[in-house]
Amino acid sequence: MQNEEKRKFFRRAVLAGAFAAAGVVLSVVSIPVGPTKCFPFQHTINVLAGAILGPWWAVGAAFTTSIVRNMMGTGSLFAFPGSMFGALFVGLAARALPEKYKFCAACAEPVGTGIVGAWVAAKILGPAIGKSIGFLFFSGSFLMSCVPGALIGAALLCCLQKRMALTKTFGALI
């Protein structure tokens, strides 16, 4: 039994790494909005990772993507609250939903990113780096990015669920 747990852990880690790598590769598509850079495909990846891997692995993938993007100069510090809270909320929602409704967890991405992530960016991160920009600005710019990304993620999950029997194919990975 211990070997099976190690295999599951390794599979999740590899898939989380693949999601992080995809987030970095897809970060060439960005929409600059003030001091933030909006990446709709990051939110697509948050939805996929949250629904397939769960909340903590999804947050890890989003965190890794944010670190690498910042090191490459394609991201900003706002990438952290702009991605991690959405991934967390999707993962938690996916845990609470029955398997056939996992794609609905995508609705939690704008809540996590557009409300909680925007609040953290406005109240904690912004003042810490000397930017005094309000919650409504961050909320609007984050929602502009995460709503289309979450819709793409929901569509992809729905397709995966229909084509590959999500509960069996990805259930074996997890």
In this prediction, residue 173 carries a pLDDT of: 52
pTM value is: 0.86
pLDDT of residue 81: 87
- The token pair that represents 115 in the structure block: 């409300």
Q: Would you list the domain boundaries of the chain?
A: 45-173
Q: Could you read off the pLDDT tens digit of each residue along the chain, which spans 174 residues?
A: 588 889 999 999 999 999 999 999 998 877 776 666 678 899 999 999 999 999 999 999 999 999 999 898 887 788 888 899 999 999 999 999 988 888 889 999 999 999 999 898 888 876 776 667 788 888 888 898 889 899 999 999 988 888 776 455 555 555
Q: What is the pLDDT of residue 134?
A: 80
Provide the pLDDT for residue 35.
64
Q: What is the pLDDT of residue 169?
A: 53
Tokens of 86: 């959405």
Per-residue pLDDT, 20: 96
Rg of the Cα trace of the chain? 16
CATH class of the domain at 45-173: mainly alpha
